[in-house]
Amino acid sequence: MEIVIGLLLSLRMCYNDACLCERGVVVFYTMEEAAVLCGFLELYLNRDSVDAAVRKNYEKFRLGLVQESLGRDDYIWATKALSFLRPHWWQDHEDHRALENALLKTQTLALKTKK
C-alpha cells in the first residue's frame, strides 16, 4: 500500500485525466485534440482573405503541433485564435465540446509552459 501511495505521489495527473506523466515531462495534445484543433483552425484561417501574418502563425502552430515542439507563445496564439473564432464553433455538433476541451488545455499549457 505504501509503495502504491508513494508511486501516486511521485506522479501527477494531467488536468483532464487524459494522461499520467512524470514530473518534468511535457504534456501534449492527444491525437483527437490535435485533429479537432487543426481541422477547425484550418477551416477558418487557411483562406486568402485572412491576413498573411495570421496564416503564417497558423502554419507555425500546425508544424509545432506535428513536431510536438510548441512553445508558450504558440499556446498563447492558439488561445487567442480559438477565443476569437468562438462564435463560429460548431454548436450543433459534438466537436463543440472537443473544441472547448482543447481551448481549456491550450490555456493550461500556456500558463504552465516556460518561455
| Residue pair 44/88 in contact by the 8 Å Cβ criterion | yes
Tell me the pLDDT band of 27, cut-offs 50, 70 and 90: low
Pick the most confident of 31-40, 45-54, 79-88: 45-54
Tally of domains within the chain: 1
Does some domain include residue 94? yes
| Residue pair 44/89 in contact by the 8 Å Cβ criterion | no
Does some domain include residue 31? yes
Does some domain include residue 42? yes
Does some domain include residue 9? no
Tell me the pLDDT band of 26, cut-offs 50, 70 and 90: low
Q: Dihedral sign for Cα 68, 62, 100, 40, please.
A: negative
Angstrom distance (rounded) from CA 51 to CA 22: 40
pLDDT at 46: 87
Does some domain include residue 16? no
List the domain range (segments joined by +) for residue 95.
27-112
Does some domain include residue 4? no
